């Protein structure tokens, strides 16, 4: 299928938080951007699409969604292919950028309390999911160095908490794979963003009160958690810089320097 003159952006995990903020920023900063959001929850997706339509500067932008679960290892090839096909059908063209901000966390933070099944469940959305989507994605993407894939990581991988070893092993696995993906996908580019603390539904789960939020804030150079549009700028840089591939981009408020 031929590419269009538009920038078709697929945001996997785009119904809230950093993914939604990235979609918003793409609409205002990429020439003639179209957006398709993917997540598990139809209601959240409809709300997110309505929010993007209300704020988009381009009235003719396509803003749509696809319901999909990216965590199920057993059916992952079929699930990912279905998402990619649905996105291409919505865009009526190939995909230019894939942003992956879908996440999953185990019920307990410490590896000691987790079975291998618990860890495999996290791996579905954290390791196999992005690798499968990107691997299959090449044939649905515009074959150009203007195209990109951007995955999401976090500072916990570089500053691991005690007891998180087995989990971090799974959550960090794709980082080294990104360099291989950059080689496999070329000229399409592949990068990943390392995120510090941003106030989203996900952070609220780990920091349910102000004291816990302050602890995350104090672990940055700015003594503050980030705004989601500050995270989104890192994904935009990955989409826009057509000579950047296999790279790590940090948006962490200097947390890795503290």
Ligand X SMILES: NC(=O)c1ccc[n+]([C@@H]2O[C@H](COP(=O)([O-])OP(=O)(O)OC[C@H]3O[C@@H](n4cnc5c(N)ncnc54)[C@H](OP(=O)(O)O)[C@@H]3O)[C@@H](O)[C@H]2O)c1
Q: Which residues bind ligand X (CB under 6 A)?
A: 13-19, 39-41, 44, 68-71, 101-104, 125, 152, 154, 195, 197-198, 200-203
- Provide the 10 A C-beta neighbour count for residue 49: 20
**What is the spatial distance between Cα 207 and Cα 214, in angstroms, rounded to a whole number?**
9
In the complex, what is the shortest distance from the CB of residue 244 to ligand X, in angstroms, rounded to a whole number? 20
CA distances from 234 to 25, 135, 237 (A): 11, 23, 5
In the complex, what is the shortest distance from the CB of residue 58 to ligand X, in angstroms, rounded to a whole number? 22
C-alpha 249 chain-centroid distance: 13
Give the dihedral sign, CA 159/164/170/171.
negative
70/123 with CB nearer ligand X:
70
In the complex, what is the shortest distance from the CB of residue 13 to ligand X, in angstroms, rounded to a whole number? 3
In the complex, what is the shortest distance from the CB of residue 59 to ligand X, in angstroms, rounded to a whole number? 25
In the complex, what is the shortest distance from the CB of residue 91 to ligand X, in angstroms, rounded to a whole number? 19
32/53 with CB nearer ligand X:
53
19/137 with CB nearer ligand X:
19
Taking only Cα atoms into account, the Rg of the chain, rounded to an integer number of angstroms, comes to: 17
Give the dihedral sign, CA 182/184/189/193.
negative
In the complex, what is the shortest distance from the CB of residue 227 to ligand X, in angstroms, rounded to a whole number? 11
The one-character DSSP state at 138 is: G
In the complex, what is the shortest distance from the CB of residue 232 to ligand X, in angstroms, rounded to a whole number? 10
Outline where DSSP puts E strands in 147-211: 148-154, 189-195
With residue 251 as reference, give the H or E element that holds it: strand 248-251
87/142 with CB nearer ligand X:
87
3/167 with CB nearer ligand X:
167
1/82 with CB nearer ligand X:
82
**What is the spatial distance between Cα 53 and Cα 37, in angstroms, rounded to a whole number?**
12
Tokens at 20, concatenated: 């939604």
41/135 with CB nearer ligand X:
41
């Amino acid at each position: 299928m031929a590419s269009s003159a538009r920038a078709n952006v697929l945001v996997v995990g785009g119904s809230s938080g950093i993914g939604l903020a990235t979609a918003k920023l793409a609409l205002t900063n990429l020439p003639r951007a179209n957006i398709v959001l993917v997540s598990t929850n139809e209601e959240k997706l409809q709300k997110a699409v309505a929010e993007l339509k209300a704020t988009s500067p381009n009235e003719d932008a396509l803003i749509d969604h696809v319901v999909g679960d990216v965590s199920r290892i057993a059916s992952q090839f079929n699930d990912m292919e279905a998402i990619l096909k649905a996105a291409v059908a919505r865009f009526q063209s190939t995909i230019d950028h894939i942003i992956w901000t879908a996440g999953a966390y185990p019920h307990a933070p410490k590896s000691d309390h987790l079975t291998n099944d618990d860890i495999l469940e996290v791996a579905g959305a954290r390791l196999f999911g992005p690798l499968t989507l990107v691997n299959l994605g090449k044939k649905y993407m515009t074959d150009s160095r203007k195209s990109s894939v951007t995955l999401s990581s976090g500072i916990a991988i570089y500053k691991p908490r005690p007891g998180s070893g087995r989990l971090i092993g799974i959550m960090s696995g794709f980082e080294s794979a990104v360099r291989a993906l950059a080689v496999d996908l070329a000229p399409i580019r592949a990068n990943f963003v390392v995120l510090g603390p941003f106030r989203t539904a996900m952070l609220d789960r780990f920091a349910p009160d102000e004291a816990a939020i302050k602890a995350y804030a104090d672990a940055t150079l700015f003594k503050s958690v980030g705004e989601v549009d500050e995270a989104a700028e890192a994904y935009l840089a990955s989409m826009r810089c057509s000579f950047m591939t296999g790279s790590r981009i940090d948006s962490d408020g200097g947390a890795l320097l503290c």
